[in-house]
Chain A
C-alpha cells in the first residue's frame, strides 16, 4: 500500500510532463485538424497569393476556389457569436490573373473594368452578387473586377493597352471617393483570432516585432527563419477551439449589448436597437467639414486628371460614390440637413467638373427607408450588402446604356 502511495505521489509530481506533451501533440495536429475553410474572418483572405503576407491584396492565387460560409468582419472584435442568418455562403473563383472573375473573361475585350477597395474586390459577397458579375451576366456588359489594385497598374497593363475597355468604373463609399483612396488601395486589415488559418496576423506581427528583419548578411535565411517562427506563433488549433468555446460561453452569459460594453472598442460602435455594428463610424460621418471640402477639392483634381488620361485611350471614367454605413444607419447622423451632407457636395462637384457619375444619395436614402427590404449594409460587417450591389449594378448599367447611346448618336 505504501509502495502504491509513493508511486501515485511520484506520478503526480511529474504529471506536468505528460500533460504538456499531450497538449503539444494535440497542438501539432493543427495543420491536419483545422481546415482554412470553415467560418472565418474574411473568406477572400484565404485566396491570398502569398500565405501570411499581403493576405488582403490582389492579385490572389490564380484559379483559387472557395465555397464555404463566412460572417461579417466586425463580429470577432466584439466576441459575438454569429447568428445562423449572419453566416453567408461565399462561393468564388480567382481567375488566371489573380482577380475575382470567372476564368477566361479576358479572352475577349471587356466593356468595363471596375476599381475599388474591398467592397469591389468582394470581401463581403459571394461571386454572383459582385457588381462586376451582375453587369456581365444580368446587364450584358462584360466587366472585369480589378478590385484592390491601383488604377496605375491597369494603366500599365499591356493587355488593356491593346484592348482598352469602354469604361473604367471607380466604385467606393463616399469617403473612399472623397479621399481618392481607390488610387492607393488601403484595405485595413484586422488580425483574426477566430480561425488561425487566415494567417493575416503574421504580417501585423512582423511589423510590430521584426520591423527590420530584412537587414543583414543572409537576408533570405533570416527572412524565412523569422517567418517560420512567426507562423508558429500565430497558428494554433488549441487557440482556435478555445476561442470558439470562449465565444460560445460569452454569448450564453451575456447579451450582445453587454458584450459590446465589455469589449469596448474605440473603432467600433454597437447599436442594440438595430443590432448593428459600425466600424469607425466617425470616419463615415457624412457631415460637410473643412476637411471633407478640401478632400473633395483634391479628389476633383485627381479625378479630372484620370478622366483626361483615360480619354486618350478612348475610355470613359464613371465615378460611383455610395453613402457610408454610418451615413445611412448611424443614429447620430440621421438629422444632418441636406445642405450639410458632403455626398451632396461631392455629387454636385462631379457634375460641375463634367465627370460621369451616379447619383446615389437620394436613391439609397429612399432604399434605406424601406423597412421590408434587406439592409443596404450588413449588420455585422463594414461592407455593403448584396442588395446594394444589385442597385449599384442596375444604375451603372443604365448609365452605361445612356453613355453608349449618346456616343452612337
Chain B
C-alpha cells in the first residue's frame, strides 16, 4: 500500500484518522490504534512479512531493557552484540544472501541447499527492512551508550518501532527525537494545517514532478539499446531531479502524516543541490541516513580520531557500506565508493589546507554535475545498460532525440521548471514560512482534492526508496 494508492487514500488513512482523532485524548488507545494500523499497513505488502517486523521488535524491546539493567557489565556488551548482529543478520539474510552467494560462485547453492531456511525465505525482500534495521540499531546502541533510557512500556516502543508514516522509507527517527511525543501529543488546528501543508506538497512533488519526469526517463530506458548522446544527457538530469523529488515527496508525505497525529519527524533534506561540495551534499541529502552512518558507523570505526590515513579509509568504508545498504548490487557499491572517494579527496584537500578558489556558484554547479553523474550509476543495476549509457556519452552528437520523446518532453517541461526552481532557488525552509492562515488552509484543501483526482488518472509509480 503506497501513500498514493487508492487503498491508502480512500480507506486506510481516513479510517485511521477518524478513529485516532476520536481516541486521541486517551494516549494508550491512540498508541494502540497506531500500532494496529501500522501492522495492517506493513502486512499490505504481504502478510508473511509481518513476523519479520514483529518478532525482532519484541526481542529488541527485551534486549534494550537488559542492556540498561546490566549497564557496565560484560553481559550488557554481549546483549548489544546479539541485538546488533541479529538485526544485521536479518538484513543480510533477506537482502544480501543471494548477492553474496552469486559473488562467490555459489549461486546454485541457495536453491539446492536443503538445510538452510531457504524454503521459508520469501523471494521478495521485506519492504523497508533497511530503514527498520537502522532504526532498531540506533535504539539499542543509544541505550548502550546511555544516551537514552529504554522504555519499559511495550506499547510505546511498539508505536515507535512501527509508526507507519516512516516505516518503509524513513526518515530514520531516533527514539530520543520523539520520546516525549510517544507519551503525550497535542493535536490542534495548527498541527493539522502543518500536516496538510507537508502532505500536499509531498504529494505534489511525487505526482506532478517526480512521476512526470519518470515518463521521459522510462521511455529512454525502454529504448536504451539505441540511446543517443542527447538522450543520455536528458536521462541523466531527469533522473537526478526525479530521485530528489521522489524522495523529497515521500519524506514530506511522511512528515505530514506524522504531524496529523502529533509527531514531529526530523527534516530529511536541506537543498542538497545547492551544495558547494560532496561533503556539504551529505549534510543536506537524506540527512537522517547520513547522520546515522556518521553516528553508528563512521564514529565507531574511529572517525577522524585515529589519524589522517585512517580517516580517509573510514570515510571510504562508511560510504561503501552506505552504498551497499541501498541494495545488493555492485552499482550501489560503486556509487557509494565514488562518494567515499570524493569525500576522502575533499578531506585531503582540507587537511593539507589546499583551497581551490572558485566562485560559489561554480562549485555548486560542479557539485551538482558530479552528483548527477553518480546518480546514473545508482540508477543502473544492469551493467549492460550502464555500459550502453556510458558509451553513448562518449559519442557526442546533436542529433535530435527519438520522435516518441517529443510529446512527453513537452509535457514534462512544467515539472522540470518546478524542479529546477525549487532545487536551485528555493529550499526546504520555505515550507516553514507558509503560515496557518485561512487562505492557505482552503488552498491546500483544494490542492489536495485536485491531487487525489489527478492521481486516479495516472498509473502509480512506486517511490524509489520503497525498494530499500
The answer to whether A binds B is yes
Interface residues of A (CB under 8 A from B): 5, 8-17, 19-21, 23-24, 27-28, 210-213, 215-218, 221-222, 225-226, 229, 232-236, 238-239, 242-243, 246, 261-262, 264
> Once bound together, how far apart are the Cα atoms of A232 and B404, in whole Å?
34
Whether B456 pairs with A243 at a CB distance below 8 angstroms is yes
User: Could you list some 28 contacts between A and B, CB below 8 A?
Assistant: A9-B437, A10-B189, A12-B438, A12-B442, A13-B189, A13-B196, A14-B192, A16-B444, A20-B14, A24-B9, A24-B10, A24-B14, A27-B10, A27-B11, A28-B10, A28-B11, A215-B48, A215-B123, A222-B46, A222-B48, A225-B43, A226-B46, A232-B6, A235-B6, A236-B10, A239-B456, A242-B453, A242-B457
> Once bound together, how far apart are the Cα atoms of A21 and B11, in whole Å?
9
Residues 188-206 of chain B: 1 if any A CB is under 8 Å from the residue's CB, otherwise 0? 0110110110011000000
A24-B11 contact given A10-B189, A225-B47, CB 8 Å threshold: yes
**Closest B-chain residue to A213, C-beta based?**
B46
Interface residues of B (CB under 8 A from A): 1, 5-7, 9-11, 13-15, 17-18, 21, 43-44, 46-48, 120-124, 189-190, 192-193, 195-196, 199-200, 404, 407, 436-442, 444-445, 448-449, 452-453, 456-457
A218-B47 contact given A10-B189, A264-B404, A264-B407, CB 8 Å threshold: yes
Q: How far is the CB of A365 from chain B (nearest CB, A)?
A: 34
Q: How far is the CB of B404 from chain A (nearest CB, A)?
A: 6
> Once bound together, how far apart are the Cα atoms of A142 and B439, in whole Å?
72
Most buried by A among B44, B47, B192, B442: B47
> Once bound together, how far apart are the Cα atoms of A28 and B15, in whole Å?
11
8 closest Cβ pairs, A-B complex: A12-B441, A216-B48, A24-B14, A13-B193, A27-B10, A239-B456, A13-B189, A232-B7
Residues of A within 8 A of B440 (CB): 12
Residues of B within 8 A of A13 (CB): 189-190, 192-193, 196, 436, 438, 441
Residues of B within 8 A of A9 (CB): 189, 436-438, 441
> Once bound together, how far apart are the Cα atoms of A150 and B199, in whole Å?
51
Whether A19 pairs with B456 at a CB distance below 8 angstroms is no
> Once bound together, how far apart are the Cα atoms of A104 and B437, in whole Å?
71
Residues of A within 8 A of B441 (CB): 9, 11-15
**Closest A-chain residue to B436, C-beta based?**
A13
A242-B445 contact given A24-B10, A217-B48, CB 8 Å threshold: no
Q: How far is the CB of B1 from chain A (nearest CB, A)?
A: 6
Residues of B within 8 A of A28 (CB): 10-11
Q: How far is the CB of B408 from chain A (nearest CB, A)?
A: 9
- Given A12-B441, A17-B21: 19 more A-B contacts, CB < 8 Å: A8-B438, A12-B442, A12-B445, A13-B438, A14-B189, A14-B192, A14-B193, A14-B441, A15-B441, A16-B444, A17-B192, A23-B10, A24-B11, A27-B6, A212-B122, A225-B43, A233-B7, A234-B6, A242-B457
Q: Which of A19, A212, A233 contacts B445 (CB 8 A)?
A: A19
Residues of A within 8 A of B11 (CB): 24, 27-28, 232
Whether A216 pairs with B404 at a CB distance below 8 angstroms is no
Whether A229 pairs with B122 at a CB distance below 8 angstroms is no
> Once bound together, how far apart are the Cα atoms of A215 and B5, in whole Å?
24
Query: Does more than half of chain B's interface fall in helix, strand or loop, or is it mixed?
Result: helix
Whether A229 pairs with B14 at a CB distance below 8 angstroms is no
> Once bound together, how far apart are the Cα atoms of A213 and B199, in whole Å?
31
Whether A229 pairs with B10 at a CB distance below 8 angstroms is no
Residues of A within 8 A of B43 (CB): 225
Q: Which of B6, B17, B21, B44 contacts A239 (CB 8 A)?
A: B6
> Once bound together, how far apart are the Cα atoms of A12 and B440, in whole Å?
8
Residues of B within 8 A of A23 (CB): 10, 449, 452
**Closest B-chain residue to A226, C-beta based?**
B46
A20-B17 contact given A9-B438, A232-B11, A264-B404, CB 8 Å threshold: yes
Q: How far is the CB of A263 from chain B (nearest CB, A)?
A: 9
Residues of A within 8 A of B5 (CB): 233
Residues of A within 8 A of B200 (CB): 16
Query: Does more than half of chain A's interface fall in helix, strand or loop, or is it mixed?
Result: helix
A229-B438 contact given A215-B123, A221-B47, A239-B456, CB 8 Å threshold: no
A238-B456 contact given A13-B192, A14-B192, A216-B48, CB 8 Å threshold: yes
Q: How far is the CB of A79 from chain B (nearest CB, A)?
A: 10
> Once bound together, how far apart are the Cα atoms of A300 and B4, in whole Å?
51
**Closest B-chain residue to A232, C-beta based?**
B7
Residues of A within 8 A of B6 (CB): 27, 232-236, 239
Q: Which of B17, B21, B122, B452 contacts A216 (CB 8 A)?
A: B122
> Once bound together, how far apart are the Cα atoms of A221 and B50, in whole Å?
12
> Once bound together, how far apart are the Cα atoms of A20 and B448, in whole Å?
9
Q: How far is the CB of B271 from chain A (nearest CB, A)?
A: 27
A226-B123 contact given A12-B441, A232-B11, CB 8 Å threshold: no
> Once bound together, how far apart are the Cα atoms of A14 and B442, in whole Å?
9
Residues of B within 8 A of A236 (CB): 6, 10, 456
Q: How far is the CB of A66 from chain B (nearest CB, A)?
A: 27
Most buried by A among B1, B10, B452: B10
> Once bound together, how far apart are the Cα atoms of A262 and B10, in whole Å?
30
> Once bound together, how far apart are the Cα atoms of A222 and B126, in whole Å?
14
Whether A222 pairs with B47 at a CB distance below 8 angstroms is yes
Most buried by A among B15, B199, B452: B452
Whether B448 pairs with A21 at a CB distance below 8 angstroms is no
Residues of B within 8 A of A14 (CB): 189, 192-193, 441
Whether A15 pairs with B457 at a CB distance below 8 angstroms is no
**Closest A-chain residue to B5, C-beta based?**
A233
Q: Which of B9, B46, B121, B445 contacts A16 (CB 8 A)?
A: B445
Whether B442 pairs with A15 at a CB distance below 8 angstroms is yes
Q: How far is the CB of B368 from chain A (nearest CB, A)?
A: 32
**Closest B-chain residue to A235, C-beta based?**
B6
Whether B189 pairs with A212 at a CB distance below 8 angstroms is no
Residues of B within 8 A of A234 (CB): 6
> Once bound together, how far apart are the Cα atoms of A242 and B193, in whole Å?
27
Residues of A within 8 A of B404 (CB): 264
**Closest B-chain residue to A208, C-beta based?**
B462
Whether A229 pairs with B7 at a CB distance below 8 angstroms is yes
> Once bound together, how far apart are the Cα atoms of A213 and B448, in whole Å?
33
Q: How far is the CB of B212 from chain A (nearest CB, A)?
A: 15
Most buried by A among B1, B48, B192, B407: B48
Q: Which of A10, A218, A242 contacts B48 (CB 8 A)?
A: A218
> Once bound together, how far apart are the Cα atoms of A213 and B44, in whole Å?
11
> Once bound together, how far apart are the Cα atoms of A21 and B21, in whole Å?
12
Residues of B within 8 A of A10 (CB): 189
A15-B445 contact given A20-B14, A20-B17, CB 8 Å threshold: yes
**Closest B-chain residue to A224, C-beta based?**
B47
